[in-house]
Structure 1
Amino acid sequence: MDNSGHQESGLSKSVWSDADFEEMGWHDATVHGLSVQATGKILPHLVLDLDYIVRWVNPVPPETHFSFWVSPATLVFEDVWDLEGDLAFKGGWIPDLEIDSLHRLVPDDGRQDQPLWHIEGHAFELKFRASGYRQYFRQAPTLISQQAMSHAERGGCVFTEVGFS
């Protein structure tokens, strides 16, 4: 079991899974990269490199803006199938990919072992079946004034599946 955490930000451990789904929230998490990876098994993994907002911090006067505890993380959906999605980049401008919400839905075909996942983003959408997920927080959270880390702060686009210690 992973006991690595970061008390100041409220992060209790550095590796989470679908068993923790009800405690997690991906609103405004920035996606830096996406990969479909062969696993040697029949079904691949869907891997996202993202900046996960561990905690929003209310402004203390005279400040007027929130600050954020943010950690670069690797989100790995296991045994993925029926993957479909949509990207909506119009007008030549490509926005940051930010997650609005992540839903775990009960499929109507009775296959409870393969839930339907739906990632709704501000300029994209993904739907797929997967047996579950693990999310690896690669660095201890950092308190910053924006919702995403810079490329240099987060160590670039990374798909490492190891939590910080």
Structure 2
Amino acid sequence: MNSHQESGLSKSVWSDADFEDMGWHDATVHGLHVQQTDDILPRLLLDLDYIVRWVHPVRPAKTFSFWVAPATLVFEQVWDLEGGLGFKDMHPELEIADVHRLVPDDGKQDWQQWHIEGHLFDLKFRASGFRQYFRHAPRLMPGPVLPIAERGGCCFTEVGFA
């Protein structure tokens, strides 16, 4: 598992064990896929631009810059999935506001409850855990979104960068 010292990314594959060290605020979701498996329960995959680090402006600059990497977020053994999308304008970018790990209230401790709260969407579900794969090393960008051509389009590859 490779790191990228300049951005502060310590490894290229993270999991639910790293949840407390992660933050998805303003991560852009480019794609969402519910993948059937040989198991009874499907997987939930999100293709996103993950903001590894926000960089405070240095004068004369007045805006933040961002270390951003394309990533695949994969939740395993998903069930009880519910949510919705709310596109109200011409630019339906999906941005994550926050990801919450909730305490199960039904005694099923093996199944974590998740809530992906977005600016134009909302997802709640149960899953056994997640992995997040940083597909490329982070790039320093003037905004929090990578150009489509530079990120390789919409992709659900489950391999961390080398």
TM-score (norm 2): 0.98
Deviations 1:49-85 (A, max 9, x none): 0000000000000000000000000000000000001
Residue 117 of structure 1 corresponds to 114
1:148 to 145, 149, 160: 145
Which aligned pairs between 1:14-163 and structure 2 lie closer than 5 A?
A: 14-90=12-88, 93-163=90-160
User: In the alignment, what sits opposite 2:8?
Assistant: 10
Instruction: Specify the SS of the correspondent of 1:127.
Output: strand
Between the two proteins, the alignment pairs up a number of residues equal to: 162
4+ residue runs over 2 A deviation: none
Q: How far did 1:38 drift? A: 1.3
Residue 126 of structure 1 aligns with an amino acid whose one-letter code is: L
Structure 2 residue runs of 5 or longer lacking an equivalent are: none
**Is the deviation greater in 14-23 or in 34-43?**
34-43
- CA deviations on 1:10-61 (whole Å, 9 max, x unpaired) are 0000000000000000000000000001121111100000000000000000
CA distance in 2, matches of 1:105, 1:115: 7
1:95, distance to aligned residue in structure 2 (A): 2.0
CA-atom RMSD, angstroms? 0.8
1:95-119 residue CA offsets vs partner (Å, 9 max, x unmatched): 2100000000011101111011000
Identify unmatched segments of 5+ residues in structure 1: none
State the 1:9 CA deviation. 0.2
1:94 Cα shift? 4.0
Amino acid at match of 2:66: F
Paired with 1:95 and 1:78, the residues of 2 have a C-alpha distance of 27
